[in-house]
């Protein structure tokens, strides 16, 4: 049983392309990796392999350290691009139907590719001025150079997929209009609404959202003029930075702050190292770069005048496990402390935006968590409207978004093939 393969959301043929790589058959190895993933060199860079394939490597279990699967996957993809081995998208025979996709992130781009190969006309509508979603604006350059994403996007467009940038569904075009324009619609917006910190002083200047901090940094790296860097409101240079949170986004923020020249960078997390959701590898990198982690610590208030100056924090202790099996953090009343902080970054996770209200579609049902409600075919409560990625499963990993994009393309194809067959039956009956 190849545990590395079974613990990969895409079920990549990892043992097989590792063997081909070891034999020097690099083109075959890349072709095999590309059979199950539309962006292997991207997943090789940003997947938390220590929680997925490498964390379940049988050699790791034997105490000898995991095979560096992510690095090899990245190398195979980069090598394929350099040698011209990456094939273009070859559209299948036109079937006369079209699909509209809302969101040009990993789920949307993946679904578009598979649907185009199946013979559909595909249009992607994205709110941003660049395609890629969080791959462009959420993940820092030091983890994922944007040229790596751009070449994938270029390949998608060269395959005949139209990407409409800076189009806000709900304002520039309605979901109802997209449903009339296309035979099916796939909602792949991701989740961008930040969870709020509910302590006194959380509304002070200098308390910012992680997504704003990372987006500004990425835009600056892309050469855009960033006013919030010019005025210093989203810049860590010479600041005492405290990042609140323990997930991968928090790790991106602390490492970005280091690169921006922060005076000090501390990460405040209410559980311990063993119970944090972020990648252990990312934590190790952050510590090497000078980030100080304060485990079992939670914010009590943000102190200062109009602008944040200190974070007043409490020590925490772990109580009984919650529904997810992680022990609940509880305030230890016997101890508290203060941290200098004139820039406080909230990396508390993301929640879905209220899409039914934004889209003006009351019939679009959501779950108790605000994600879009879907059946086993990934269809929402609106006929012909499907959803996948974070907007249906909650904030998750890029590799799961790719998986959803691959799966939803198959469901949409079946749905539209049935519609074509039904139309053909009616035409035959009418002719008879």
Q: Which residues pair with 207 in a beta bridge?
A: 344
Instruction: Express each pLDDT in 301-352 by its tens digit.
Output: 999 999 999 999 999 998 888 777 778 899 987 789 999 999 999 999 999 9
pLDDT tens per residue, range 22-68 = 999 999 999 999 999 999 999 999 999 998 999 999 888 888 888 99
Q: Using the predicted structure, report yes or no on whether residue 125 has a pLDDT greater than 90.
A: yes
Residue 371 binned pLDDT confidence (cut-offs 50, 70, 90)? very high
For domain 195-346, give the CATH superfamily.
Answer: FAD/NAD(P)-binding domain (3.50.50.60)
Average pLDDT over residues 384-390: 98
What span, in angstroms and rounded, lies between the C-alpha atoms of 229 and 252?
18
Task: Render pLDDT for 181-207 as a digit per residue (tens, 0 to 9).
Answer: 999 999 999 999 999 999 999 999 999
The pLDDT of residue 138: 95
> How much is the pLDDT for 283?
94
The answer to whether 315 and 295 have CB atoms below 8 angstroms apart is no
Average pLDDT over residues 111-134: 98
Q: If we measure between CA atoms, which residue out of 292, 224, 220, 221 comes closest to residue 254? A: 292
The residue that leads in pLDDT, 324 or 145, is 145
Rounded to the nearest angstrom, the gap between the alpha carbon of residue 145 and the centroid of all alpha carbons in its chain is 15
Mean of the per-residue pLDDT values for the chain? Answer: 95
Reported as a pLDDT band with limits 50, 70 and 90, residue 372 is very high
Specify the 3-state DSSP secondary structure of 111: helix
Residues in contact with 92: Cβ distance below 8 Å, sequence separation at least 6, in sequence order:
116, 117, 118, 119
DSSP at 350: E
Predicted local confidence at residue 428, as pLDDT: 83
Distance CA 113, CA 29 (A): 21
Evaluate if residue 421 carries a pLDDT over 80. Answer: yes
Query: Which has the closest alpha carbon to 200: 317, 294, 301, 288?
Result: 301
Given this model, what pLDDT does residue 378 score? 98
Average pLDDT over residues 217-228: 96
Per DSSP, the residues of 116-129 read HHTT-EEEEE-SSS
- What pLDDT, on a 0 to 100 scale, did the predictor assign at position 82? 98
**Average pLDDT in the 284-303 region?**
96
Residue intervals in the chain for CATH 3.50.50.60: 98-191+352-431, 195-346
Query: What's domain 3-82's architecture?
Result: Orthogonal Bundle (1.10)
**Alpha helices (H) along 118-174:** 134-137, 146-158
CA dihedral for 179, 185, 188, 191, sign (positive or negative): positive
Task: Using alpha carbons, select from 107, 95, 115, 114 the residue that is nearest to residue 131.
Answer: 107
The single-letter DSSP state of residue 288 is H
Residue found by looking up tokens 């997390």 in the block: 269
Lay out the sheet containing 292-294: strands in order across. 207-209, 343-346, 240-244, 264-268, 292-294
The conformational region for residue 365 under phi > 0 = left, psi -120 to 50 = alpha, else beta, is beta
Roughly what angle, to the nearest 10 degrees, separates helices 106-117 and 146-158? 30
pLDDT 10s digits, 1-22: 789 999 999 999 999 999 999 9
The backbone region for 372, taken as left when phi is positive above 0, alpha when psi lies in -120 to 50, beta otherwise, is beta
Residue ranges, CATH 1.10.1060.10, the chain: 3-82
What is the phi-psi region of residue 41: left when phi exceeds 0, alpha when psi lies from -120 to 50, beta otherwise? alpha
Which pTM was predicted?
0.94
Q: Which CATH architecture describes the domain 98-191+352-431?
A: 3-Layer(bba) Sandwich (3.50)
Q: Are 345 and 378 in contact (CB under 8 A)?
A: no
Say what the pLDDT of residue 164 is.
98
Of the pLDDT bands very low, low, confident and very high (cuts 50, 70, 90), residue 382 is: very high
């Amino acid at each position: 049983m190849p545990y590395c393969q079974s613990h990969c959301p895409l079920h990549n043929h990892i043992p097989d392309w590792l063997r081909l790589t070891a034999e020097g058959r690099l083109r075959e190895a890349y072709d095999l990796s590309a059979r199950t993933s539309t962006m292997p060199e991207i997943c090789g860079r940003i997947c938390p392999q220590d929680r997925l394939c490498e964390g379940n490597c049988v050699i790791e279990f034997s105490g000898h350290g995991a095979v560096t699967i992510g690095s090899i996957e990245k190398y195979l993809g980069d090598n394929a691009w350099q040698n011209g081995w990456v094939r273009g998208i070859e559209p299948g025979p036109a079937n006369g139907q079209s699909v509209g996709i809302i969101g040009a992130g990993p789920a949307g781009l993946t679904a578009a590719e598979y649907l185009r190969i199946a013979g559909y006309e595909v249009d992607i509508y994205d709110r941003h001025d660049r395609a890629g979603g969080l791959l462009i604006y959420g993940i820092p350059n030091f983890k994922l150079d944007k040229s790596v994403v751009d070449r994938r996007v270029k390949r998608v467009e060269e395959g005949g997929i139209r990407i409409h940038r800076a189009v806000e569904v709900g304002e520039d075009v309605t979901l109802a209009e997209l449903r009339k324009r296309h035979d099916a619609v796939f909602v792949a917006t991701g989740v961008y609404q930040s969870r709020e910190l509910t302590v006194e002083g959380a509304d002070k200047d200098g308390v910012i959202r992680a997504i704003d901090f990372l987006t500004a940094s990425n835009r600056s790296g892309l050469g855009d003029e960033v006013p919030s860097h010019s005025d210093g409101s989203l810049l860590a240079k010479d600041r005492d930075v405290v990042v609140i949170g323990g997930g991968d986004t928090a790790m991106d923020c602390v490492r970005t702050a280091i690169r921006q020249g922060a005076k000090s960078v501390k990460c405040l997390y209410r559980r311990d190292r063993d119970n944090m959701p972020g990648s252990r590898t990312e934590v190790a990198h952050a510590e090497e770069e000078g980030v100080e982690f304060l485990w079992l610590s939670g914010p009590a208030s943000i102190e200062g005048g109009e602008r944040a100056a200190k974070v007043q924090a409490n020590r925490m202790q772990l109580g009984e496990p919650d529904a997810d099996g992680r022990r609940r953090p509880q305030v230890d009343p016997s101890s508290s402390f203060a941290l200098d902080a004139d820039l406080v970054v909230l990396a508390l996770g993301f929640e879905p935006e209220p899409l039914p209200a934004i889209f003006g579609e009351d019939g679009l049902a959501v779950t108790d968590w605000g994600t879009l409600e879907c059946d086993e075919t990934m269809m929402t409560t609106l006929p012909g409207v499907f959803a996948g990625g974070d907007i249906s499963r909650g904030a998750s990993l890029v590799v799961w978004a790719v998986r959803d994009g691959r799966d939803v393309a198959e469901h949409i194809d079946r749905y539209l093939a049935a519609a074509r067959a039904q139309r053909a039956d009616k035409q035959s009956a009418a002719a008879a």
